[in-house]
Structure 1
Amino acid sequence: MDFDLTSRKLQSVQYQNIVDKKTSVNEQKDNATSFQDQLTKLHKSYKEELSFSKHAAKRLEERHIEMNDSLMDNLQSAVEEARKKGARDVAVIGRQGIFIVNVPNNVVVTTMAEDDMKNKTLTNIDSAVFM
């Protein structure tokens, strides 16, 4: 019985190439899963940030309410508190004015400055949070 050393090495190399390819494919799958996880996290974080409707943005400008990082953080925290309590439409009341927020969609629907609160009536809200 002849034993061909060259043939045996060739088979070994071919087998190793197959194993390497499988490992490479598995690594790609892991990277794809990792990418999908990152994309999901990014989407969730984007969804968690408050946005302003066109109407609310217009009201901010008309009422000279300046949004800064501190106010945005306080507003976001107030909305998160309301979310924990099950609120859907919340009035967030602060020194700068009142922000009406649709909690499930994370959208500031409108804003009111102190001057706008003459009739002192808010409708279509289920919660209020002071910030």
Structure 2
Amino acid sequence: MQVQNKGYLSIEQLQDQYLKQNKSGTSQVATDGQSFQEILENSRARAQGQVRFSKHAAGRLADRNIELTSGQMERLQEGAQKAQMKGIKESLVIVDQLAFIVNIPNNTVVTAMNQQDAAENVFTNIDGAVII
């Protein structure tokens, strides 16, 4: 016996559509292995318009023994804001002897290095630079 569905989707078809939608990431949030505390801090920083650090960038700061002063953090934030006003998407922001690659739309520092680590002075995949 064959049942005609008159243009309506079966439960199985709806389920397949829902699962495909979730696999494409449209209704899921990627956490990149972050802890709940990191996600909470990052969402607070984003809400306040502050620059946040990716897990990779935080690791680079720790590996390279780079500690930012509050003044340097303010200048990094200022540099990211200037880059955003100019329409830059991926920016090199230089603060003192430190270089940061910042993803401007996400307001996220992607990587960080000091002068010794940037010995080649070649930066790729950026579309602008701010020296502050």
* TM band (smaller chain): 0.5 to 0.7
Greater helix content:
1
Change (3 A) 1:96 1:65: farther
Query: AA paired with 1:81?
Result: K
Query: AA paired with 2:86?
Result: K
| TM-score normalised by structure 1 residue count | 0.63
CA contact (8 A) 1:96 1:113 kept: yes
Gap runs ≥5 in structure 2: 1-43
Distance across 1 between alignment mates of 2:110 and 2:116: 18
Distance across 2 between alignment mates of 1:83 and 1:115: 28
- In the alignment, what sits opposite 2:89? 88
CA contact (8 A) 1:47 1:106 kept: no
| 1:37-48 correspondence runs (5 A) | 46=47, 48=49
| Secondary structure of the corresponding residue to residue 121 of structure 1 | coil
- In the alignment, what sits opposite 2:59? 58
- Deviation string for 1:2-60 (max 9, x for gaps)? xxxxxxxxxxxxxxxxxxxxxxxxxxxxxxxxxxxxxxxxx796251111001100111
- 2:69 is aligned with 1:68: yes
- In the alignment, what sits opposite 1:5? none
**Runs of at least 4 residues off by over 4 Å:** none
Distance across 2 between alignment mates of 1:128 and 1:53: 19
CA RMSD of aligned residues (A): 2.0
| TM-score normalised by structure 2 residue count | 0.62
CA contact (8 A) 1:65 1:96 kept: no
Deviation at 1:68, TM superposition (A): 2.3
- In the alignment, what sits opposite 2:109? 108
Q: Work out which of the two has the higher radius of gyration on C-alpha atoms and give 1 or 2.
A: 1
Percent identical residues: 43
Query: AA paired with 1:118?
Result: A
- In the alignment, what sits opposite 1:128? 129
| Secondary structure of the corresponding residue to residue 117 of structure 1 | coil
- 2:112 is aligned with 1:119: no
- How many pairs were matched up? 90
Change (3 A) 1:124 1:65: same
